[in-house]
């Protein structure tokens, strides 16, 4: 963008995308305006980071002029695509884009894009760790954390970029006709139906990750996922499958307890499954997707094995917090879907006291309620979905399962502590988003860790 151009950032947020775009354009000498419905107090962490730049900030409301008297609007992907302000900008000939779209357009390096209903954060982090021990510089970002846009000028064509991509981000990438060099899809389950309306719309958004790949690109799909097997006819690029139960002609698989990757006739041994520190069938699937993706960009087997074996997981994802009085506490606040919570429950052999519930994304909670009845000793339900989950538990158990209701996370932890005995696991795995009670899943997870006496990172 030229220095004289005007840019509006619609939705600064706290997750890095709006912040990265504002910083990028301010450095380029553009006139930057931030428009956000949140208050100054809510956005303080992001605003403080932008203090060195001459940026106009309009908070608490959107002004029409910010969308008409500008040359570009950078939209937070969480903004509803039906927003009247987006239509206002379009009617005045203003170009719309997103931070992630801009990054794709400017990035000179190959991009590994990772999406899925569950496991995308873990898989993205695994790939980054595996490539970190290889010969090229690796940059990890996207939906997983901070924006890479301010640093795009420092990325070399010889580097490799790994991005976690949400369905919201993929909708906008689809508008621009962009897909990553290597597209990884971990699984497809109902999610974000409050935004997308139908499962068909949600799947269509996810398909953008492969829809615009060119010859020479690679799609890495979980071959054990029923929905993803249907995607084969939509793949224009090379297709590598990951599987824990079969041996695909190209991709990753398990044989005799060891992970292998295969390209045609060439097979490479990566690592024993028993050496992986993250347990559970879902984490094996994540590791298989990561191995296939790293192999697709030429990573060596030693670097892949070292990365997988040393990867200890990510904060808020089946994170061991502490043990008190023989009771182990795990923070799985990142489990914002029923499928993620069910995978967490299947990872434990010990009796589980589950804390679940939260914001309703419009998905079904019947299956996770059955899993709660089958796999937990007790469940403490919180948030908007508590009554719905409880009703399904009663249906499956014939009212024989003693669930409890809590009005807050503090109350839920207190109830869990009152019934826990040595050998139990107290697990926060909500199966829901956090927006009814918290700003995000990180805030929810950090509060849980504080309440159970675990270490919490300093807030900056």
Overall average pLDDT of the 74-80 stretch = 91
Dig out the tokens for 10 from the structure: 């619609």
CA atoms of 222 and 286, how far apart (whole Å): 9
Angle at 17 (CA atoms; ends 12, 21), nearest 5 degrees: 80
pLDDT at 361: 87
CA atoms of 191 and 100, how far apart (whole Å): 21
In this predicted model, what pLDDT tens digit does every residue of 266-304 receive, in sequence order?
999 999 999 999 878 889 999 999 999 999 999 999 999
pLDDT at 457: 47
CA atoms of 143 and 218, how far apart (whole Å): 21
pLDDT at 3: 46
CA atoms of 290 and 252, how far apart (whole Å): 9
Overall average pLDDT of the 198-204 stretch = 92
Q: 323-336: b or e for each residue (b if 16 or more CB lie within 10 Å)?
A: eeeebbbbbbbbbb
Angle at 306 (CA atoms; ends 265, 166), nearest 5 degrees: 80
pLDDT at 313: 86
Q: Which pLDDT band holds residue 459 (cuts at 50, 70, 90)?
A: very low
CA atoms of 187 and 118, how far apart (whole Å): 7
Q: Which pLDDT band holds residue 347 (cuts at 50, 70, 90)?
A: confident
CA atoms of 32 and 21, how far apart (whole Å): 10
Dig out the tokens for 127 from the structure: 């790939």
**CB contact set of 160 (below 8 Å; sequence gap of 6+):** 109, 110, 111, 112, 131, 136, 137, 138, 139, 297
Reduced to 3 states (helix: H, G, I; strand: E, B; else coil), residue 250 is strand
More confident residue, 345 or 45: 345
Asked if the model's pLDDT at residue 218 lies above 50, the reply is yes
Mean pLDDT across the chain: 92
Smallest Cα–Cα separation from 305: which of 332, 270, 334, 336? 270
CA atoms of 329 and 425, how far apart (whole Å): 6
Overall average pLDDT of the 6-14 stretch = 91
Q: Tell the burial category of 398 from Cβ atoms under 10 Å away from its Cβ (0-12, 13-18, 19+).
A: exposed
Overall average pLDDT of the 44-71 stretch = 94
In this predicted model, what pLDDT tens digit does every residue of 114-167 receive, in sequence order?
999 988 989 999 999 999 988 889 999 998 867 999 999 999 999 999 999 999
pLDDT at 135: 81
pLDDT at 455: 54
pTM above 0.85, yes or no: no
**CB contact set of 320 (below 8 Å; sequence gap of 6+):** 328, 329, 330
Smallest Cα–Cα separation from 78: which of 385, 361, 437? 361
Q: Are 182 and 113 in contact (CB under 8 A)?
A: yes
pLDDT at 299: 94
Q: What is the dihedral of CA 254, 185, 436, 417, to 10 degrees?
A: 10
**Most confident of the following: 27-31, 45-49, 310-314:** 27-31
- Structural domains present in the chain: 6-97 (3.40.50.720), 101-310 (3.40.1190.10), 319-452 (3.90.190.20)
**CB contact set of 304 (below 8 Å; sequence gap of 6+):** 130, 261, 270, 271, 291, 294, 295
**Looking only at Cα atoms, what is the longest distance across the chain?**
68
| Helix or strand (DSSP H, E) at 355 | strand 352-356
CA atoms of 361 and 66, how far apart (whole Å): 31
**Dihedral of CA 70/71/74/78: which sign?**
positive
pLDDT at 190: 77
């Amino acid at each position: 963008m030229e220095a004289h151009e005007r840019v509006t950032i619609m939705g600064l947020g706290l997750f890095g995308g709006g912040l990265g775009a504002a910083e990028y354009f301010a450095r380029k000498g553009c006139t930057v305006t931030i428009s956000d419905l949140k208050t100054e107090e809510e956005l303080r962490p992001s605003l403080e980071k932008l203090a060195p730049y001459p940026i106009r900030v309009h908070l608490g409301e959107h002004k029409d002029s910010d969308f008409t008297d500008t040359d570009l609007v950078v939209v937070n992907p969480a903004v509803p695509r039906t927003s009247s302000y987006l239509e206002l900008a379009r009617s005045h000939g203003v170009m719309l884009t997103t931070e992630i779209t801009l990054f794709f357009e400017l990035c000179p390096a190959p991009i590994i894009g990772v999406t899925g209903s569950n496991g995308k954060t873990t898989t993205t982090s695994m790939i980054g760790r595996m490539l970190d021990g290889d010969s090229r510089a690796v940059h990890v970002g996207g939906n997983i954390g901070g924006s890479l846009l301010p640093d795009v000028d420092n990325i070399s064509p010889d580097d490799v970029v790994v991005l976690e991509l949400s369905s919201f981000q993929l909708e906008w990438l689809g508008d621009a006709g962009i897909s990553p060099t290597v597209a990884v899809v971990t699984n497809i389950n109902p999610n974000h139906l409050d935004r997308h309306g139908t499962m068909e719309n949600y799947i269509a958004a996810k398909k953008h990750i492969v829809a615009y790949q060119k010859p020479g690109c690679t799609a890495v799909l979980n071959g054990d996922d029923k929905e993803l097997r249907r995607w084969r006819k939509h793949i224009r690029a090379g297709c590598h499958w990951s599987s824990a139960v079969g041996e695909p002609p190209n991709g990753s698989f398990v044989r005799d307890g060891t992970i292998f990757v295969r390209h045609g006739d060439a097979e490479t041994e990566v690592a024993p499954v028993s050496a992986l520190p993250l347990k559970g069938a879902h984490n094996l699937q994540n590791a298989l997707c990561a191995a296939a993706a790293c192999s697709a960009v030429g990573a060596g087997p030693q670097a892949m094995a070292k990365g997988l074996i040393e990867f200890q997981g990510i904060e808020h994802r089946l994170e061991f917090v502490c043990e008190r009085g023989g009771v182990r506490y795990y923070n799985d606040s990142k489990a914002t879907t029923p499928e993620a919570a069910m995978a967490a429950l299947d990872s434990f052999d010990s009796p589980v006291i589950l804390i679940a519930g939260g914001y309703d994304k419009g998905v079904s909670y019947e299956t996770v309620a059955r899993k709660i009845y089958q796999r937990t000793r007790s469940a403490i339900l919180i948030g908007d979905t508590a009554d719905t989950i409880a009703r399904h538990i009663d249906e499956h158990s014939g009212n024989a399962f003693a669930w409890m209701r809590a009005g807050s996370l503090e109350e839920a932890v207190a109830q869990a502590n009152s019934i826990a005995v040595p050998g139990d696991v107290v697990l926060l795995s909500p199966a829901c988003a956090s927006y009814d009670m918290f700003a995000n899943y990180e805030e929810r997870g950090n509060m849980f860790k504080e309440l159970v006496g675990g270490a919490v990172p300093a807030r900056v």
